[in-house]
């Protein structure tokens, strides 16, 4: 078949595969969140539908599809309908760049890390549009808070990733994983890398609007924040996108700090297809960490959130970059 | 009851401010309370409560009902301290008639009253954490409250609106398991309050959200008629159990929890301290319940002699007052309930102005309002 | 201070010809009851709060009462320093347009309580910052806690 058609067919196939991963991962993560939350709260959580509740989210998704699509009378129809697609598209695009294993890597572009950071900024447009076009004061307050929060924490995410790029020397994700054959980057960079990891986890949680930074949705304060007026499938989009974003942040951390699809000490190096397993294992440990945060800490007030970023995280981050640069220049990294 | 929100020429409506309605259905207002907020960005300029969504004209009904029936009505006012409300009305009637209830009755009333206070504070703690975003506290608080509810169910027959008191004593004697279960609960709960502290009180995020927020000075607390933990956190010593003791409270020793900060954190700490003190009171009484009757008989139709009677009790929210004007008939001529929530609510506008919406939620969580108490 | 001491102290504030307008009684109640005329209400209340001997700075109960003929308000006052309690009563015979002075400027708690009394009894208070109905809807007709209030639909009389 001619070049062009084959190329397009390949792209469509990859897109369908990733859509599949997106939905399955989303459904699975929602269930994991509910079981983990129940465990912390001395309850059991959903365990009836399917084996240990596996089919629970499917049942919820079917229910959501059958709901009436409401909307306010004076909402801006076009923007209101457009908003959820922004968040979905940005999540999908970010997922396509993640290295699940050496071969299972859809787009191995040479600006991998930069691309990821740029894409995550597009998601916030969806939130702002959703809040604004709902024509609802609570939604508007939620959307404005979210805009402010995301713009501030993008800086910290970017800078902490930049710290690790100093060791790897390349923005390309597969190259970053290759460098870690000499030891995970968090070990290679020792102190500055640990600090960068902590800052990345904090800012990543803030980027995805999860507790303790969920002032955007603050259920106890504003009803439901920017997605107050959404119901049915459109609400499901926002909801799923939040979980996928959490997965993406954890995946980036697993790739950049903990070796991606490499096995610890190279124990299964001869079986490269096991890389997917290691990658998912590391990602899920970090996802569990983010869920742990959510169900333990109270939430920060919006001005405290911004103070944390601008007065504490940013200066620490800048000093950290300089420290890391010194360590790399003086060859003080730990190599195996 | 509903008010128009359109700004009129007499309102000080500046171009940056806008109105937001918090409630009556809202996760953080703990009941049907509607707050009209005037906000400028995130800063609150004015808070105006709109009451009456659960007004059931209890005071008018009291002018028609007999005293035994009135005890039933008080359950539903501050339903988290329902036993103490019942006790208040029974005490008014007993003092007016000059009835001397047996020691056993007094001790049991105090034990159940203090357990009610602990149950109310458990719920308060759980909901406070939930309002601030730490959802797990809700389940931990309810887990302990369930133990108390089970004790009540076995002895009094109901979990929330106990209605165990009658003028002259108690409806039935306590269940044989009562003493053991209460002792087990006390031992269990002593290990739990440190758990609460570990989870929330020392957490830096919690401290930053409550320290210095919503400061109420001592003079303002007195002028606004605040009582209970709200006033004690501002340094005004007003525990009715100390100054006007009733039932068996003059036989126990306990310290009044006082703090001087007047901010949200101080109110929080006062309530945690109160839980310890209530546990200590229960411990002092539970082993020595005197033998005797559980009830002194009264006439079937109780008529108070003509005159005015006032009884104060300390509920979990503050000072509840029952003011009866009797003209010698079977129903009171006028019965007024001085509810603690009503006066505590009036401080809200004073302390919330100038703070942010997030602070308003924290302030309301610590003022601990139960709306049926305010609306009666 | 005991009830007798209070009575002497308060009596001493007013010159001879007006002293007769105050009535003191202790019968039918455990506290000292002071009945005052509407015209002197605000002045008496101000004195009760500011005088250091009495220092009644805590108004803990404000009730409206329909005395079957007269409408009145009963104030329960307590002192946070001396811990004594006194009761002040004021009545007005005018049922069409009852008016009394507000004590909001003396105790801030009176603001809500007086709105409640206005809502249920119809007594208007002078100098109240925000006198409108509190519990009932704005368009409610009548004052429910009065003894002559009739409501076929909502009231069940046995």
Residue B205, SS3 per DSSP: helix
Question: Exposure of B204 by Cβ count < 10 A (0-12 exposed, 13-18 middle, 19+ buried)?
Answer: exposed
Question: Nearest CA to B273 among B324, B362, B364, B201?
Answer: B201
For residue B202, the model assigns a pLDDT of: 82
Nearest CB to A220; choose among B27, B143, B199: B27
Nearest CB to B1; choose among C60, C80, C136: C136
CATH of B55-374, one of 1.10.645.10, 3.30.70.3270, 3.20.20.70, 3.30.450.20: 1.10.645.10
| Angstrom distance (rounded) from CA B257 to CA B214 | 19
Residue spans per domain, chain B:
55-374
| Angstrom distance (rounded) from CA C143 to CA A115 | 70
Q: What is the pLDDT along chain A (336 residues), one digit of tens a residue?
A: 678 888 888 888 888 988 888 888 888 888 888 899 888 888 888 888 878 888 888 888 788 778 776 666 766 778 888 888 888 888 888 888 888 887 778 788 888 888 988 888 888 888 888 888 877 777 777 788 778 888 888 889 999 998 888 888 888 888 888 888 877 888 887 888 899 999 999 999 888 888 678 776 655 455 556 767 777 777 788 888 888 888 999 999 998 988 888 887 777 777 777 888 888 899 999 999 999 888 888 888 878 888 889 999 999 999 999 999 998 888 877 777
Per the structure block, which two tokens stand in for A266? 């190279």
Residue B356, SS3 per DSSP: strand
Average pLDDT over residues C136-140: 87
DSSP A36-103: HHHHHTTS----SSSGGGTTHHHHHHHHHHTS-----TTS-HHHHHHHHHHHHHHHHHHHHT--SSSS
For residue B9, the model assigns a pLDDT of: 43
Chain A residues in contact with B203 (beta carbon < 8 A): 297-298
ipTM of the complex: 0.90
| Angstrom distance (rounded) from CA A248 to CA A17 | 17
Crossing angle of helices B264-286 and B357-367, rounded to 10°? 20
Phi-psi category of residue B28: left, alpha or beta, with phi > 0 → left and psi -120 to 50 → alpha: alpha
* pLDDT at C127 exceeding the cut of 80: yes
For residue B183, the model assigns a pLDDT of: 92
For residue B337, the model assigns a pLDDT of: 92
Is the distance from CB of A304 to CB of A45 less than 8 angstroms? no
Nearest CB to A41; choose among B27, B139, B357: B139
Is the distance from CB of B265 to CB of B158 less than 8 angstroms? no
Phi/psi of residue A208, nearest 5 degrees = -90, 10
| Angstrom distance (rounded) from CA B222 to CA C58 | 6
For residue A7, the model assigns a pLDDT of: 86
Q: Looking at residue B55, what DSSP letter applies?
A: -
Compute the mean pLDDT over every residue in chain B, rounded to the nearest whole number.
86
For residue B10, the model assigns a pLDDT of: 43
Does residue A62 fall inside a structural domain? no
Nearest CB to B20; choose among A137, A215, A302: A137
| Angstrom distance (rounded) from CA B273 to CA B362 | 19
For residue A48, the model assigns a pLDDT of: 81
% chain B with pLDDT above 70: 95
Rg, C-alpha atoms of chain B: 21
Does residue A40 fall inside a structural domain? no
For residue A222, the model assigns a pLDDT of: 54
Q: Which residues of C, range 116-155, sit inside 8 Å of B by Cβ?
A: 133-138, 144-145, 154-155
- Which of A217, A301, A306, A311 is the best mutation test for B, with the most CBs of B within 10 A? A301
β partners of residue B43: B40, B356
For residue A87, the model assigns a pLDDT of: 87
Per the structure block, which two tokens stand in for B371? 């709306």
How far, CA to CA in Å, does A191 sit from each of A165, A166, A186, A194, B376?
A: 15, 14, 8, 5, 62
For residue B255, what are the contacts with CB-CB under 8 A and spacing of at least 6?
Answer: B277
Domain assignment of residue A307, given as a range:
67-329
* pLDDT at B13 exceeding the cut of 60: no
Number of neighbours of residue A51 by Cβ within 10 angstroms: 7
For residue C18, the model assigns a pLDDT of: 55
Number of domains forming the structure of chain A: 1
For residue A322, the model assigns a pLDDT of: 92
Say which range, A301-305, B137-141, B185-189, has the weakest mean pLDDT. Answer: A301-305
Is the distance from CB of A306 to CB of A152 less than 8 angstroms? yes
For residue B274, what are the contacts with CB-CB under 8 A and spacing of at least 6?
Answer: B117, B121, B229, B257
Closest-CA residue in chain B for A139? B20
Is the distance from CB of C89 to CB of C73 less than 8 angstroms? yes
For residue B7, the model assigns a pLDDT of: 47
| Whole-prediction pTM | 0.86
Is the distance from CB of B263 to CB of B218 less than 8 angstroms? no
For residue B330, the model assigns a pLDDT of: 87
| Angstrom distance (rounded) from CA A324 to CA B163 | 69
Does residue A307 fall inside a structural domain? yes
| Angstrom distance (rounded) from CA C53 to CA C51 | 6
For residue B113, the model assigns a pLDDT of: 92
How many whole angstroms from its chain centre is CA B321? 12
Average pLDDT over residues B302-313: 89
Identify residues of B whose CB sits under 8 angstroms from chain A CBs: 18, 20, 26-28, 42, 129-136, 138-140, 143, 199-200, 203, 205-206, 208-209, 356-359, 361
Does residue A109 fall inside a structural domain? yes
DSSP chain C: --HHHHHHHHHTTS-HHHHTT-EEE-TTSSSEEEEE-GGGHHHHHHHHHH-TTT---EEEEEEEEE-SS-EEEEEEEE-TTT--EEEEEEEE--SSS-EEE--TTT-TTHHHHHHHHHHHH--EEET-TT-S-SSS-TT--S-TTSTT---TTT----
pLDDT tens by residue, C96-118:
888 888 988 888 899 999 999 99
How far, CA to CA in Å, does B149 sit from each of B80, B119, B253?
A: 11, 8, 26
β partners of residue C64: C73
Say which range, B349-358, C22-31, C72-81, C87-96, has the weakest mean pLDDT. Answer: C22-31
Q: Is the dihedral of CA A41, A47, A51, A55 positive or negative?
A: negative
Is the distance from CB of C58 to CB of C80 less than 8 angstroms? yes
């Amino acid at each position: 078949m001619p070049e062009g058609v084959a190329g397009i067919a390949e792209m469509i196939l990859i897109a369908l595969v990733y859509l599949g991963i997106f939905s399955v991962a989303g459904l699975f993560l929602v269930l994991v969140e509910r079981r983990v939350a129940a465990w912390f709260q001395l309850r059991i959580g959903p365990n009836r539908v399917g084996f240990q509740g596996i089919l629970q989210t499917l049942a919820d998704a079917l229910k959501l599809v059958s709901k009436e699509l409401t909307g306010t009378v004076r909402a801006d129809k076009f923007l209101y309908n457009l908003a959820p697609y922004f968040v979905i598209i940005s999540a999908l695009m970010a997922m396509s760049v993640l290295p699940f294993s050496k071969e299972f890597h859809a787009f191995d572009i040479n600006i991998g890390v930069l691309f990821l950071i740029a894409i995550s900024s597009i998601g916030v447009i969806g939130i702002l549009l959703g809040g604004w076009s709902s024509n609802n004061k609570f939604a508007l307050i939620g959307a404005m808070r979210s805009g402010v929060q995301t713009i501030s924490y993008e800086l910290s995410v970017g800078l902490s990733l930049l710290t690790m790029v100093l060791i790897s020397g390349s923005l390309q994700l597969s190259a970053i994983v290759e460098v870690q054959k000499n030891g995970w980057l968090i070990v290679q960079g020792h102190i500055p890398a640990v600090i960068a990891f902590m800052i990345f986890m904090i800012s990543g949680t803030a980027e995805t609007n999860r507790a303790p930074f969920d002032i955007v949705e603050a259920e106890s304060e504003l009803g439901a924040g920017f997605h107050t007026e959404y119901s049915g499938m459109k609400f499901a989009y926002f909801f799923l996108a939040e979980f996928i974003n959490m997965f993406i942040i954890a995946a980036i951390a697993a790739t950049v700090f903990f070796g991606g699809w490499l096995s610890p000490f190279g124990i299964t190096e001869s079986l490269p297809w096991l890389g997917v397993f290691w990658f998912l294992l590391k990602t899920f440990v970090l996802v569990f960490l983010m869920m742990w945060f959510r169900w333990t800490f109270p939430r920060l007030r919006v001005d405290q959130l911004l103070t944390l970023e601008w007065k504490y995280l940013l200066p620490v981050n800048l000093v950290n970059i300089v420290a890391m640069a010194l360590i790399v220049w003086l060859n003080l990294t730990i190599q195996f | 009851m509903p008010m128009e929100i359109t700004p009129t020429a007499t309102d000080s409506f500046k171009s940056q401010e806008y109105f937001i309605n918090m409630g009556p259905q809202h996760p953080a207002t703990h009941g049907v309370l509607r707050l009209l907020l005037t906000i400028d960005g995130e800063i609150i300029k004015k808070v105006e409560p709109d009451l009456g969504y659960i007004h059931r004209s209890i005071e008018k009904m009291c002018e028609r009902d007999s005293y035994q029936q009135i005890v039933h009505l008080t359950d539903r006012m501050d339903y988290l301290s329902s036993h103490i409300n019942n006790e208040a009305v029974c005490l008014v009637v007993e003092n007016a008639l000059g009835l001397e209830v047996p020691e056993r009755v007094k001790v049991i009333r105090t034990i159940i009253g203090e357990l009610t206070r602990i149950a109310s504070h458990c719920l308060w703690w759980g909901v406070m954490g939930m309002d601030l975003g730490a959802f797990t506290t809700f389940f931990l608080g309810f887990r302990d409250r369930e133990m108390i509810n089970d004790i009540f169910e076995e002895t009094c027959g109901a979990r929330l609106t106990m209605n165990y008191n009658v003028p002259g004593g108690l409806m039935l004697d306590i269940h044989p398991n009562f003493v053991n279960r209460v002792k087990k609960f006390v031992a269990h709960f002593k290990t739990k309050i440190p758990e609460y502290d570990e989870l929330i009180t020392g957490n830096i995020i919690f401290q930053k959200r409550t320290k210095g927020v919503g400061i109420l000075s001592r003079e303002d607390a007195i002028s606004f008629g605040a009582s209970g933990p709200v006033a004690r956190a501002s340094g005004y010593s007003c525990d009715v159990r100390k100054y006007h003791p009733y039932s068996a409270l003059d036989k126990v020793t306990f310290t009044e929890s006082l703090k001087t900060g007047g901010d949200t954190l101080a109110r929080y700490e006062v309530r945690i301290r109160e839980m310890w003190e209530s546990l200590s009171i229960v411990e002092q009484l539970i082993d020595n319940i005197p033998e005797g009757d559980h009830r002194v008989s009264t006439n079937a139709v109780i008529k108070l002699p003509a005159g005015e009677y006032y009884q104060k009790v300390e509920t979990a929210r503050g000072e509840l007052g029952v003011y009866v004007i009797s003209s010698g008939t079977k129903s009171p001529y006028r019965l007024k309930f001085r509810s603690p929530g009503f006066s505590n609510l009036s401080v809200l506008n004073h302390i919330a102005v100038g703070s942010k919406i997030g602070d308003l939620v924290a302030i309301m969580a610590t003022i601990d309002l139960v709306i049926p108490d305010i609306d009666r | 201070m005991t009830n007798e001491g209070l009575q002497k102290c308060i009596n001493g504030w007013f010159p001879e010809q007006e002293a007769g307008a105050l009535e003191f009684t202790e019968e039918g109640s455990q506290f000292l009851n002071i009945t005052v005329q509407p015209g002197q209400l605000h002045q008496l209340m101000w004195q009760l709060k500011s005088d250091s001997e009495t220092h009644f700075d805590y108004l803990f109960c404000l009730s409206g009462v329909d005395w079957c003929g007269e409408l009145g308000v009963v104030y329960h006052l307590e002192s946070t320093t001396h811990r004594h309690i006194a009761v002040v009563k004021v009545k007005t015979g005018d049922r069409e347009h009852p008016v009394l002075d507000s004590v909001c400027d003396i105790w801030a708690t009176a603001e809500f309580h007086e709105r409640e009394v206005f809502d249920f009894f119809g007594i208007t208070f002078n100098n109240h910052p925000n006198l409108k109905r509190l519990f009932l809807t704005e368009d409610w007709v009548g004052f429910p806690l009065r003894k002559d209030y009739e409501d076929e639909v909502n009231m069940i009389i046995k």
